[in-house]
Amino acid sequence: MCDSHSGVILISHWNVIMLAGLNFATLLLSVAVCQGSQYKDINSETVSVDQGSTYGSLWPLPQQVSLSEVSFKLSSSSFRVVDAEGSSAGPSCNILQNAYRRYYEYLFGNARKTGHFKRKAARSELSELQVSITSGDSDCDGYPGATSDESYELTVDQPYAILKAPKVWGALRGLETFSQLVYEDEYGAKSINSSKIVDFPRFQHRGILLDTSRHFLPIKVILANLEAMAMNKFNVFHWHIVDDPSFPYLSRTFPQLSQMGAYHPYTHVYTPGDVKMIIEFARLRGIRVVPEFDTPGHTQSWGKGQKDLLTPCYSGSTPSGTFGPVNPILNTTYDFMNLLFKEISEVFPDAYVHLGGDEVDFNCWKSNPDITKFMEQHSFGDDYSKLESFYIQKLLDIVTSTQKGYMIWQEVFDNGVKLKPDTLIHVWKGNQQQYQNEMAKITLSGYKTFLSTPWYLNRISYGQDWTSLYRADPHNFTGTDDQKKLVIGGEACMWGEYVDSTNLMPRMWPRASAVGERLWSAKDVTDVNDAYSRLSKHRCRMVERGIQAQSLFSSFCRHEYKGI
């Protein structure tokens, strides 16, 4: 295909760059136009000068990167992504075949329409990327899971580039990295430098939370967000699907929940088909879908379709007509939960369900005489967190019986509910000091945990707040190495009070990208100026791929977003 001669030349040009602490031969240093102006700008954290990064536009930064000065061209008519000989995944592997097409389109756009396919590769052309799945079971037909292997090795060289990964999940991450290495030279020719990348995620749980209850999010937005997640190597879509304001999940077992509890029973619901499609779309991108059905609080919308599920609040000795949390003293409650979570366990293939458990308001329980009586019978005294624990305990048993693991918000742990050892505890409260103490406490108790507190992206402020998102680190608390190992990652949360399909995407991206790099890349990848340079380019790449990612600061993209 290609003469071996050029391969020899190439080796003599290697400039090896390792990530941690080695000598950088400075390459690809493209100093961009600098904009120093801060018109009426009070923000002091603004990074405004793009000094270029040794690592081009790579985001999140891989664990080990070596780039050489030798570059190859990629031809839209002859470049191929193919299964390597000996790969355990073949043409029947949907995940890979879909990914090949997706990345071909990202790389060449509509260029494939022009020119005829030719067979012979020119000198200094990269004609193939060979993808090899090295373990016996490629996971092609499976779902990504909590322990899925996402590692990969990428070698770009003549006559072809090689992407090796134990599983398809690593191949997906490697394809994204490969696409990020491709750039246009000054004549517009697609080019890639000879390079070697060894990569794996620092944390296994890298999530984004979307809230489809406060505002209904059309499927199109959810899918676009999954696309963007894949571009940033996120692997968990935490779907906060229902809450007080609306119940858009169409349950086959209890259809009245969405019929009565959704904003609209037809236009503002997710049908079983919708859910299936979202799960498959996510699977093809190596993203898990973890649904959250938050109880016993945050359930106002549940009560509209399910009689007697919620606790009737009292005003003096008579019911006030309003309702509180799920009623924990009725057997019918647990019958209902049993059936509902059985359905959920079948609809959502992931091994985990998020059970919520946060912010339970005790006032309604306190007002209800039946509850009071029940509390006395069970010797709970005035301690309503015991009643909450009683409920959660029973719910955990129900979920356990469906063979699912569970995640819960930190209050459940804080309230001393007895948890299974494999429970994942989701930290969201407090200031930096408080959440770090919480992480220490949880891991000291031997539980696994993941962090969201510093990453509530619904909270907005003027200026480059991505820098503070970027600086937060889940391991920054006082604890032993064993404790640190129990931290499985984190999630960026976009609560829905002020977010709907009009503004979700630009508010999420590229701010969530900062979290993405923190969770994927090595701990010492903390240079904000280098990050600014790479992230600016990465965000323009997202825009070119149709993702409405907003700007970091005064600047331009070669191709601006074309929508409104």
264 or 378, CB closer to a copy of itself?
A: 264
Q: Which one of residues 183, 334, 447, 456 is an interface residue with a copy of itself (CB under 8 A)?
A: 456
DSSP 325-368: EE-TT-HHHHHHHHHHHHHHHHH--SSEEEEE------HHHHH-
Size of the site for a copy of itself (CB under 8 A): 64
48 or 94, CB closer to a copy of itself?
A: 48
Question: For residue 550, with 0-12 CB atoms within 10 Å meaning exposed, 13-18 middle and 19 or more buried, which class applies?
Answer: middle
Minimum CB separation from a copy of itself for residue 127, in Å? 31
Distance from chain centroid for Cα 313: 38
How far apart, in Å, are the Cα atoms of 26 and each of 23, 66, 71, 157? 9, 11, 15, 20
State both tokens at 193. Answer: 């430098």
The candidate with the shortest Cα–Cα distance to 55, out of 556, 555, 525, is: 525
36 or 421, CB closer to a copy of itself?
A: 36
Establish if 221 lies at the interface with a copy of itself (CB under 8 A): yes
Interacting residues of 343 by C-beta distance below 8 A, sequence separation 6+: 251, 252, 253
148 or 301, CB closer to a copy of itself?
A: 301
CA–CA distance, 224 with 546 (Å, rounded to integer): 9
Q: Which one of residues 218, 265, 349, 405 is an interface residue with a copy of itself (CB under 8 A)?
A: 218
| 281: enclosing H helix or E strand | helix 272-283
CA–CA distance, 292 with 300 (Å, rounded to integer): 15
19 or 209, CB closer to a copy of itself?
A: 209
Minimum CB separation from a copy of itself for residue 264, in Å? 7
15 or 501, CB closer to a copy of itself?
A: 501
CA–CA distance, 232 with 207 (Å, rounded to integer): 11
Q: Of 105, 184, 359, 560, which is the active-site residue? A: 359
Q: Which one of residues 45, 137, 482, 560 is an interface residue with a copy of itself (CB under 8 A)?
A: 560
Establish if 555 lies at the interface with a copy of itself (CB under 8 A): yes
Of residues 418-447, which lie at the interface with a copy of itself (CB under 8 A)? 428
CA–CA distance, 88 with 67 (Å, rounded to integer): 29
| 272: enclosing H helix or E strand | helix 272-283
Of residues 179-198, which lie at the interface with a copy of itself (CB under 8 A)? none
CA–CA distance, 47 with 388 (Å, rounded to integer): 47
Establish if 404 lies at the interface with a copy of itself (CB under 8 A): no
Establish if 362 lies at the interface with a copy of itself (CB under 8 A): no
Q: Which one of residues 112, 277, 498, 526 is an interface residue with a copy of itself (CB under 8 A)?
A: 498
How far apart, in Å, are the Cα atoms of 353 and each of 106, 234, 382, 414, 495? 33, 18, 31, 19, 19
Of residues 282-301, which lie at the interface with a copy of itself (CB under 8 A)? 298, 300
Q: Which one of residues 500, 528, 530, 544 is an interface residue with a copy of itself (CB under 8 A)?
A: 500
26 or 363, CB closer to a copy of itself?
A: 363
Cα angle 324, 327, 332; round to 5: 145
Establish if 215 lies at the interface with a copy of itself (CB under 8 A): yes
Q: Is 359 part of the annotated catalytic residue set?
A: yes
Q: Which one of residues 4, 12, 37, 114 is an interface residue with a copy of itself (CB under 8 A)?
A: 37
Give the catalytic positions in this structure: 359
| Residues in touch with a copy of itself (CB under 8 A) | 33, 35-41, 211, 214-216, 218, 220-221, 224, 243-246, 263-264, 267-268, 298, 300, 359, 428, 456, 458-463, 495-503, 505-507, 543, 548-556, 558-564
